[in-house]
Structure 1
Amino acid sequence: MKLTRSIMILACSAFIVPAFAQTKTSGWTNLFDGKTLNGWKQATGTAKYDIVNDNIVGTTVAGSPNSFLVTEKEYGDFILEADIKIEDSTFNSGIQLRSHFDPEGNEGKGRVYGYQAEVDGSSRAWSGGIYDEARRDWLYPLTLHPEAKKAFKLSGYNHYRIECIGSEIRTFVNGQSVAYLVDDADKKGFIGLQVHAIGKNDKAGKKVYFKNIRIQTANLKPAPFAKNIFVVNKQLNTLSGYEKSNGWKLLFDGQTSNGWKGAYKPGFPDKGWKIQEGALTVLSSEGKESANGGDIVTIDEYKSFDLSFEFKLTPGANSGVKYFVTLSENNEGSAIGLEYQILDDELHPDAKLGRDGNRTLSSLYDLITAKKDPRFVRKIGQWNTGRVVVLPNNHVEHYLNGIKVLEYERGSKSFRDLVAISKYKVWPNFGEAPKGHILLQDHGNEVSFRNIKIKTLK
């Protein structure tokens, strides 16, 4: 016999912490006893939350915004486990972590915001990825860990393990390591079960099932995490122990110019660049390319690598991150190399030059156009994250804010054909050097860089 209990929407009010109806076993506390919703309440939305056969079942309602059933208690450091089932490939859900409620949000209807571990039934398959609900959007999309897309199974129950310990959030789906985030936005908050919004004309009745929801808050022992998984680290110019153990190193320590020098110069430029508030900034010279401090390059050279960096543009700015820079050309202006373009696409005229947009943000400059979803491009004045991966077989990938935007084979016929019709055709064997420096470009506009890290690939 099915036991069903519908939960009415509660008025938006301050969260009061009552006694939680819980059962403790071996250091775990059950957040759901299978029969009642003691310790939970609905924060937003009109989706229905019922108890059916030891499950909390969330059901969509047409025209409802995102709905959340949340704990009345807040949690800081914890390990959370739950079994989750979703049966519709057009639907997704999620578990809120260290989250909060803004009663003024959504035009006074209230808004839940904070970290969310994704439950994704679609072909995108980002289950276990980390989203920042109603705030910063995607923090860890599974384009950063595509092998983990296979962990989630549609229709059957999926076991989630989520570790929030200090500044680290790590997710596991069905025992597989998925996402690794280091971030300090929230130290504590409630846990929530999402029923995603659907439109007024969409078919209602899509369901998500949650059961065996339990938490540990003391004597926490992180599970082993698979090696060599990319970490999104939002802490300023730092590396986690996991990153260090997997071969990452900082290219900028946030305080000095150690490891850098001017292109074609014996030392770091004495003007045109500043280090302030943990950022390395090239100063404006009214758009004059390499006419102030000039480009800077790493002292070390790299063959195959994974390079990640954050950058912030001022309005109308132009810059770039170049790789396989040999400094052998001794040319005037900016040094020569393959370039991850950094540009204000709206205001800088270079965006309309070249061919088919191949001089726009995150493109391989003058060669290959980046295919960007506007949703994943941060506004001018905000920090964006770029990434360049060069594999030992010369396969190269560009990413913007975690999303792959292009890929190519360095030295292939198709690559050489593109070079032959580009501005680089005058340079013999352009872009095919066996190793080279990493370069930050002075294009005469103010652009800042931080969280620059690299890993040598073998």
Structure 2
Amino acid sequence: MLYIKKYSLLALSLISLSVAAQKEKPLFDGKTLTGWKAVGGAAPYKIEDKMIVGTMVKDTPNSFLITEKEFGDFILEIDVKLEGETTNSGIQTRSHIKPDGGKETVFGRQMEIDPTPRAWTGGIYDESRRLWLYPLELNPSARSLYKKNAFNHYKIECIGNETKTWVNGVPAAYVIDTLDQSGFIGLQVHSIGSNLENEGKKVYFKNINIKTENLKATPFPKGVYTVNYTPNTLSEYEKKEGYKLLFDGKTNNGWTGAYKTEFPVNGWKIANGVISVEPSGGAESTNGGDIVTKEEYTAFDMSFEFKLTPGANSGVKYFVTLSEKNTGSAIGLEYQILDDKLHPDAKLGRDGNRTLASLYDLITSKKEDRYLRPIGSWNNARIIVYPNNKVEHYLNGVKVLEYTRGSEEFRKLVAISKYKDWKNFGEAQKGHILLQDHGNKVDFRTIKIKSL
């Protein structure tokens, strides 16, 4: 009887080990490319020393080696070495192919591998679609994790709508996205254009293992910023971090008209999870007028999505005190919302300081076209006001300006701006958040804030 019990326990142990082993499966057997296929550009992939090796070739588009099978929820771990310090690579997740003039174009979320001084390894990029979702400027502490010209270990967790990344065991990026519940996994050799310096450089992929069953989400530590593309929704992580919604997606709760006791009867519309300024000919605050939060804020981290119509103008203001009792738009520091190409305001002011994401009439946002999404698409904005009065503006995850309220430099800029006649402009200890009515249709949603 004792022997049978021991045998039974041994059998159960072996079964448990077998089940545990099944949880993690190799995507690459070290010998063949069975289950994989090359798409996109012409960069070759071959097997060397039990590794998949991709080689950079000039004058060819991004090249991918993709799984023939599609995956939904999974945890992927992989070791990658990228030669060079001006090159690039990445791992596609839940991705797809679209016909593109006789070519096959890969699109979908990608974990970035970036050895350049920009150092965005571990960030999340939406290949051939929305572009950057999570640049590593949103998690600066992760930018030093990458080891140049060496193998780095990456973990990518896709469970439900959440995608998380780790670089060498440290959390890097956190995106919640409603697109693509399944798709293929891909290994990228990035295009090098006609750059002869990088021709022939290689990317090495090894130890490619995936789990698809009995998955358990790995918790992120406190303080990692989350990009959440679920409209007007906070994740449990965001709630624990202290964020709250300023717009619930359904009502005007928490908002009122600037210099008014009620929310405007006309000029603003709430429908389909969006709060919109109604068009009225482009005049400033002549229809519904600006709206402001009922609460006031001091130091905070605020994010929102906005969508412009062609030629539109609006803004999000902060530290609005409503003490000036002025006509027109209420006074405050303004994150400019503008169609830079079609609205004439982009050419006014000084050195472009009235363009999109600028501190209106004071500081020009430094942005590249590749970080912008087209007019009619949702863009992400973020404003951080630290307790020491340092302020940062972000556009689609990229920091485009910073300044310090009340500093000598700030006051010099105010002195040569349209705000020069307002005493202590922008230096109030607290104020309301304002959405501007500039007479053009502009949509807002997912407005969230965390007090610092």
Same fold? TM cut 0.5? yes
- Structure 2: 5+ residue runs without aligned partners? 1-18
1:167 and 2:161 correspond: yes
Superposed CA offset, 1:195-236 (max 9, x none): 111224524211111111001111112223121111111111
Unpaired runs of 5+ in structure 1? 1-22
The one-letter amino acid paired with 2:204 is Y
Q: Distance in 2 between matches of 1:381 and 1:41?
A: 36
C-alpha distance in structure 2 between counterparts of 1:121 and 1:260, whole Å:
45
Aligned to 2:173: 179
Amino acid at match of 2:171: S
Tell me if 1:119 matches 2:92: no
1:50 shift after superposition: 1.5
Q: Shift of residue 415 of structure 1?
A: 0.6
TM-score normalized by structure 1?
A: 0.92
Q: Does 1:152 align with 2:146?
A: yes
Structure 1 contact 24–30 (Cα < 8 Å) conserved: no
Gap change, CA 1:200 and 1:357, over 3 Å in 2: closer
Cα displacement (A) at 1:26: 5.4
Partner of residue 435, structure 2: 440
* In structure 1, C-alpha distance between the alignment counterparts of 2:354 and 2:23, rounded to whole Å: 56
Comparing 343-352 with 123-132, greater Cα deviation is found at 343-352
How far the C-alpha of 1:25 sits from its partner, in A, is 2.2
Structure 1 counterpart of 2:405 = 410
Moved more, 264-273 or 346-355: 346-355
1:284·1:445 contact (CA, 8 Å) conserved in 2? yes
Local SS of the residue matching 1:425: coil
Distance 2:406 2:208 in 1: 52
TM-score by length of 2: 0.94
Counterpart among 296, 303, 316 of residue 321 in structure 1: 316
What value does the CA root-mean-square deviation take over the aligned residues? 1.3
Residues 47-66 of structure 1 mapped to structure 2, 5 A cutoff: 47-66=43-62
Q: CA deviation at 1:120?
A: 1.1
Q: Percent identity?
A: 66
- For each residue in 1:348-402, what CA deviation from the matched residue of structure 2 results, as whole angstroms up to 9, or x when unmatched? 2211211111111111111111111111122222211111100000000011111
2:79, 2:427 → 1: CA distance? 50
Partner of 1:350: 345
Aligned match for 2:133, one of 119, 139, 148: 139
In the alignment, which residue of structure 1 is the partner of 2:254?
Answer: 259
Q: In the alignment, what sits opposite 1:36?
A: 32
Q: Could you tell me how far apart the structure 2 residues matched to 1:113 and 1:385 are?
A: 20
Which residue identity lines up with residue 94 of structure 2 in the other structure? R
Answer yes or no: is the 8 Å Cα contact 2:250–2:273 preserved in 1.
Answer: yes
Matched letter for residue 364 of structure 1:
L
Question: d(CA) in 2 for partners of 1:199 and 1:162?
Answer: 28
Which piece of structure 1 moves more, 198-207 or 369-378?
Answer: 198-207
Structure 1 partner of 2:221: 226
Distance 1:60 1:24, change over 3 A: farther
1:284 & 1:451 partners in 2: Cα distance? 21
Alpha-carbon distance, 1:272 to partner: 0.6
Per-residue deviation, residues 315-344 of structure 1 (Å, max 9, x unmatched): 221111000001111111111100011111
What secondary structure, in the 3-state scheme, does the structure 2 residue paired with 1:198 have? coil
Query: What is the SS of the residue equivalent to 1:423?
Result: coil
Question: Within 5 Å, which residues of 2 pair with 1:68-79?
Answer: 68-79=64-75
Provide the rounded CA distance (Å) in 2 between the counterparts of 1:389 and 1:153: 30
Bigger helix share: 2
* 2: CA distance, partners of 1:224 / 1:345: 40
Aligned match of 1:395 in 390, 396, 403?
390
Confirm or deny that 1:240 pairs with 2:235. Answer: yes
Aligned to 1:7: none
1:24 offset after TM fit, Å?
A: 8.0
SS in 2 for 1:351: helix
Whole-Å Cα distance in 1 between the matches of residues 291 and 131 of structure 2? 32
Query: Partners of 2:105 and 2:401 in 1: how far apart?
Result: 35
Q: Which of 255, 269, 273 matches 1:274?
A: 269
Which of 355, 366, 380 is the matching residue for 1:385? 380
Query: What amino acid maps onto 2:272 in structure 1?
Result: E
Does residue 207 of structure 2 align to residue 212 of structure 1?
A: yes
